[in-house]
């Protein structure tokens, strides 16, 4: 008979995931040992294995938990039934805030997902695609003509380019915080979105498409 989980099981596992993400972000997945994770969590190695099967499973849990949180943020904003521009502004601000509190997890997502097995990696990428698709649909709702020109997704990826890599250069409070930067990102994107011109002509149908490298959030 399986041993029942303690009342604080989920809280303890969340702490383990947070400490593991911090170590993976600082040292890299391959250079981090389960001994280091256990020490960071002030647990014995045996106790750590009560919560996670092995280091590979730990990486999968960190990545999956992060993308699921991002999906939850999107769902919360969509549930507010805002007008298109207000909805896009809310998505941008919420994501900047979310990344401010999940810099380690985001670094893991951008650098260590390649170490996952294909089914696990595909599950993470599928979550990311859903997030990008919801953003792109909102961009198209703000400017519907962009969808016909197939520009809504490229513009969405440009937007994520602003958001995704902020953690590499922004030092909170020197002089701006993430909270202050969030509306600036929205204003910068909206200032440029209205100025985007549609292509003069669609690409030639005979032009071959080259496979694209999967892009993460």
Alpha helices in the chain (DSSP H): 9-27, 34-40, 45-51, 55-79, 84-100, 103-111, 118-142, 145-148, 152-164, 178-193
Which of 101, 107, 98 shows the shortest CA–CA distance to 26? 107
Average pLDDT on 12-34 reads 96
* pLDDT-based confidence at residue 172 (cuts at 50, 70, 90): confident
- Per residue in 64-123, pLDDT (tens digit) is 999 999 999 999 999 999 999 999 999 999 999 999 889 999 999 999 999 999 999 999
pLDDT score recorded for residue 167: 83
Q: How far apart are CA 113 and CA 147, in angstroms?
A: 30
Instruction: Find how far residue 217's CA is from the centre of its chain.
Output: 5
Average pLDDT on 195-208 reads 68
- Per residue in 127-154, pLDDT (tens digit) is 999 999 999 999 999 999 999 999 999 9
1-10, 69-78, 162-171, range with greatest mean pLDDT: 69-78
Q: pTM of the prediction?
A: 0.84
| CB atoms near residue 107 (< 10 Å) | 18
Average pLDDT on 173-192 reads 91
Residue 158 to residues 39, 132, 143, 178, Cα–Cα distance (Å): 40, 11, 16, 19
Domains of the chain from N-terminus onward: 55-193 (1.10.357.10)
Which of 53, 63, 71, 66 shows the shortest CA–CA distance to 120? 63
* pLDDT-based confidence at residue 2 (cuts at 50, 70, 90): very low
In this structure, which long-range contacts are made by residues 3-11, counting pairs with CB atoms below 8 Å and at least 24 apart in sequence?
Answer: 9/51
- Has residue 43 got a pLDDT over 90? yes
Chain-wide mean pLDDT for the chain? Answer: 90
Portion of the chain with pLDDT greater than 70, in percent: 89
């Amino acid at each position: 008979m399986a041993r029942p989980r303690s009342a604080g099981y989920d809280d303890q596992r969340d702490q383990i995931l947070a400490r593991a993400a911090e170590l993976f972000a600082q040292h890299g997945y391959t250079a981090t040992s389960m001994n280091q994770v256990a020490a960071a969590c002030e647990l014995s190695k045996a106790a750590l294995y009560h919560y996670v099967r092995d280091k590979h499973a730990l990486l999968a849990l960190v990545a999956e938990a992060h993308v699921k949180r991002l999906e939850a943020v999107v769902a919360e904003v969509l549930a507010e039934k805002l007008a298109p521009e207000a909805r896009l502004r809310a998505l941008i601000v919420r994501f900047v805030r979310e990344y401010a509190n999940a810099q380690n997890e985001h670094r893991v997502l951008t650098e260590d997902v390649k170490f996952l097995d294909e089914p696990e990696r595909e599950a993470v990428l599928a979550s990311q695609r859903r997030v990008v698709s919801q953003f792109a649909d909102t961009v198209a709702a703000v400017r519907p003509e962009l969808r016909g020109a197939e520009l809504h997704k490229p513009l969405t990826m440009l937007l994520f380019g602003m958001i995704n890599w902020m953690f590499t250069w922004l030092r909170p409070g020197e002089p701006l915080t993430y909270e202050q930067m969030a509306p600036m990102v929205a204003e910068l994107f909206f200032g440029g979105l209205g100025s985007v011109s549609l292509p003069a002509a669609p690409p030639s149908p005979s032009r071959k498409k080259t496979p694209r490298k999967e892009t993460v959030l």
